[in-house]
Structure 1
Amino acid sequence: MAEKLKYNKTALKAQRDAMAKYQKFLPILQLKKMQLQLVIRQMEPVIEEKRRMVRETADRVSAWSRYFTDPAVDIKDFLDIEKIVTHRDNIAGVDVPEFKAVVFKERPYSLFATPFWLDTAIQVMRHLTALREELRLLLQKERLIQDELRITTQRCNLFEKKLIPELKENIRRIKIFLGDEETAAVGRAKLAKEKIQQNEAR
């Protein structure tokens, strides 16, 4: 429940201080919002390009698919991921992952006991796997930035459309009330002075 507005000089100062704080903080929020919007716009073509690369590489792999049913070797054995190397970056206050590389578990194999196509297939499949992981992290990064943009936009709207206008209205009402009180006090003082003068004149 909202605290009832008090009509005194202390309340007026508190309302003015709060408005000054919000008006100082609002441009910082607006700048952050613009930065996040810019980053999202810059990411869109990067994500689209990565999707195109995944599609093209997957199409190349499909030409090899008939070999993958070879009972002599299972390509999946060479695609076990040991770790995905990333580092953390900070974009407009948002902690996001940045893709570096995919490290695969090494599995030695005989060049003579395995089919001729295996080397190339491992290379292409690992490249496709790395591209997919990079795309996954890009989409995760985009989601994190969009979430932060949504929260920042909500805060901007809260400050611009609710808190600052409410404080302005409260200040206006308190000033009117204090002005009326001051006028009434001056009026009472005049009446009191007149009565004193009348009493003295008797």
Structure 2
Amino acid sequence: MSTWVGAIIETAGRADFWDIARKHGVDGSTQEIPKYVLIDFEVGFDLDASVRLAEAMSRDLEVMAIGFVVQTSADVHGVHAFNKGAAIRRLVYSRDNDGWVQMEGTPQPWERAYFFDERASTTSDEGNRWPDMLWDEMSEQDIARYEAARRVGEASSVMDLMHPSSTAPMRRVCESFDVRPDRPLGRWKKRSFLSRLFARGG
């Protein structure tokens, strides 16, 4: 997967969740309303669609929502979190722009899953998987810094070591919200002018 655009939306158990989602161009594949829903995007070149949807649904439902974009071919990650329509966290990484180009807001609980793979290890034991956020070659001092941050689940002090290059970090975030990365319950696609007009009139 070279590009993955999605949004994780808190539903608050609202019976009108899918009605509100439809007004924003989301087709649901179920009528069930779990605690969180993953929405996939048919975006073309509109990579900001997930961020706009997360902000709008966070505002309309008065909930937390995350919009994200991952481009593995260029090592680009953008993660934008909202609460009741207000931006609370923005993380943007670009390999071609020397790493983290935007870090705004307060670190959120889900970032533990994003930055730290608890099934990976920095030890040299045979069979251990190396953490996907780290370069292969690191000094002992940097490994010690990383391990200290991992123990408390807070990456702010080691952002210089963090280099997302795959979908794995966002897959872990999905799993932390108990949503399956490979089974989104909704799909967004850009609406035609007429459908937007009717939605506005409704």
Q: Please report the TM-score for the alignment, with normalisation by the length of structure 1.
A: 0.22
Larger Rg: 1
More strand by share: 2
